[in-house]
Amino acid sequence: MIMATLTFWGAAQQVTGSCHLLETSHGRLLLDCGMFQGEPATEQLNHRSFPFDPRAIDAVVLSHAHLDHSGLLPKLAAEGFSGPVYLTGPSYDLVELMLKDAAFLEMKDTVWENKRLERAGKPLVEPLYTLEDVERLLGQRQALDYEQPTEVLPGVTLRFRQAGHILGAAFVELTVNEGKHPRTLVFSGDLGNRFSPLMQDPQAPPHADMLLLESTYGDRDHRSLNDTLEEFRSILAAAHAKGGNVLIPSFAVGRAQDLIYWLGKFHREGALPQHNVFLDSPMAITATAIYLRHRKHFNHDDAEFDRAIAQGWRAWLPQLTYSETTEDSMALNRVDGGAIIIAGSGMCTGGRIRHHLKYNLWKKDTHVVIAGFQPNGTLGRKLVDGAKRVTILGSEIAVKAHIHTLGGFSAHAGQTQLLQWAKAFPGAKPALHLVHGEPEAMQTLQQRFAETDWQANIAAPGQTVKL
């Protein structure tokens, strides 16, 4: 009898590059096809050949739109994948935004790299993928509602369930009818923080025989939300008193919208002294509009916000200004102080935030608020770790700004939330495999599960397990 198997090809003992291959007697299905992010050596993994034949993949199930889960889909399509990509309705919109932006940046970086290589007399490089590859892939999307059972392979039924991470994020339930008894696989995707101001809480998990559980924060809990908000208020007050700018590197999808919510909340409490809040990211501006279109998926916990947001984001935060063009962004470099600038990227590895850091990081009155996970090797991680000097856009910059880390804004579940969610599985404990985490975080979470007599396997790249 042929048994269904699962092979871990990404986000195995690292956070990014989500990619897991389910094989049954009737076909092959990928759970996510994400981009590797972080140090240059890690990002180089994006250019290697897939460890499977893309032409042999029958379908992809996408947990959510973040690039570390979706970013290699155009490459997959360019190399022969022609099947459907199943995703939720909000993810349908967000993944188009994210992949087109990724292709634009890839082409731009390739042009600059080839100029350097040509001057050195070295062979030129090809982009990871092009906008044409993205367009091809986007034509393969199939949007599904949450809770809508859909046969994605013969004998394999998919349900998306609310993960509470970002708009459209889902954890994946796959029921595989192979052999004498059906088997159920649950893939957590990225589980959300229950204190998210906009997103619904993750749904309780169903019965399962196997669980793939993320472990990004498997070694710690986030700071309490109340403490985080109080520190945020104090940072804004201190920056206002000294006249310095507040720079917030932000992920365009999820974090930027949460920040707008909290700044609007502060405004209504009389605790927002700054008169200018700039959202300096075309991608985040478009994502914010997508969030508005899909606001029925918000948690609706704040009636005042619900009433205001029906009229748009500026009805909630009147100080908000969108910096859409390059000229708009460059003009912010002439703002000596008193502004809040939210700009991408969240890890400070690209985007407009690098320019603002270059112009502000050496000023002692500047405050930099790090509000998201920073992988090893990123500029954001160097700032968090206390670097005194950094190189940005070819210039060495002294770090004299105040660097703050606000862990309570994470869109990921912390350790306790991961444990609580996993322990809510009804019936017998499913076979447990930890994915999406750095080794230390995974080992700590593995130990916590062992304390409850639940043995967790730390997934290794290329490891195959039977369902």
For 135, residues 6+ apart whose C-beta sits below 8 A from its C-beta are none
Residue pointed to by tokens 């039977």: 466
Supply angle C-alpha 55, 57, 61, rounded to 5. 140
Backbone angles phi, psi at 456, to 5 degrees: -110, 135
Kindly compute the dihedral angle of the four CA atoms of residues 418, 349, 340, 98, in this order, to the nearest 10 degrees. -70
pLDDT of residue 407: 78
Q: Domain locations in the chain? A: 5-220+411-466, 225-409
How high is the pLDDT of residue 167? 98
CATH architecture under which domain 225-409 falls: 3-Layer(aba) Sandwich (3.40)
CATH classification for the domain delimited by 5-220+411-466, as one of 3.40.50.2300, 3.20.20.70, 3.40.190.290, 3.60.15.10 = 3.60.15.10
Cβ burial of 43 (10 Å; 0-12, 13-18, 19+) is middle
Label residues 155-173 b or e (16+ Cβ within 10 Å = b): bbbbbbbbbbbbbbbbbbb
pLDDT given for residue 2 in this prediction: 65
Q: Can you give the pLDDT of all 467 residues of the chain as single tens digits?
A: 468 999 999 999 999 999 999 999 999 999 999 999 878 888 899 999 999 999 999 999 999 999 999 999 999 999 999 999 999 999 999 999 999 999 998 998 899 899 999 999 999 999 999 999 999 999 999 999 999 999 999 999 999 999 999 999 999 999 999 878 899 999 999 999 999 999 999 999 999 999 999 999 999 999 999 999 999 999 999 999 999 999 999 989 999 999 999 999 999 999 999 999 999 999 999 999 999 999 999 999 999 999 999 999 999 999 999 999 999 999 998 887 899 999 988 888 888 999 999 999 999 999 999 988 787 788 999 999 999 999 998 899 999 999 999 878 889 999 999 999 999 999 999 999 999 999 999 999 999 999 999 999 999 999 999 99
pTM (two decimals)? 0.93
The whole-angstrom separation of Cα 201 and Cα 206 is: 15
- Among candidate residues 3, 65, 58, the one with its CA nearest the CA of residue 30: 58
Please provide the distance, in angstroms rounded to a whole number, between the alpha carbons at the two ends of the chain. 13
Helix/strand/coil (H/E/C) assignment for every residue in the chain: CCCCEEEEEECCCCCCCCEEEEEECCEEEEECCCCCCCCHHHHHHHHCCCCCCHHHCCEEECCCCCHHHHCCHHHHHHCCCCCCEEEEHHHHHHHHHHHHHHHHHHHHHHHHHHHHHHHCCCCCCCCCCCHHHHHHHHCCEEEECCCCCEEEECCEEEEEEECCCCCCCEEEEEEECCCCCCEEEEECCCCECCCCCCECCCCCCCCCCEEEEECCCCCCCCCCHHHHHHHHHHHHHHHHHHCCCEEEECCCCCHHHHHHHHHHHHHHHCCCCCCEEEEECHHHHHHHHHHHHCHHHECCCCHHHHHHHCCCHHHHCCCEEECCCHHHHHHHHHCCCCEEEEECCCCCCCCCHHHHHHHHCCCCCCEEEECCCCCCCCHHHHHHCCCCEEEECCEEEECCCEEEECHHHCCECCHHHHHHHHHCCCCCCCEEEEECCCHHHHHHHHHHHHCCCCCEEECCCCCEEEC
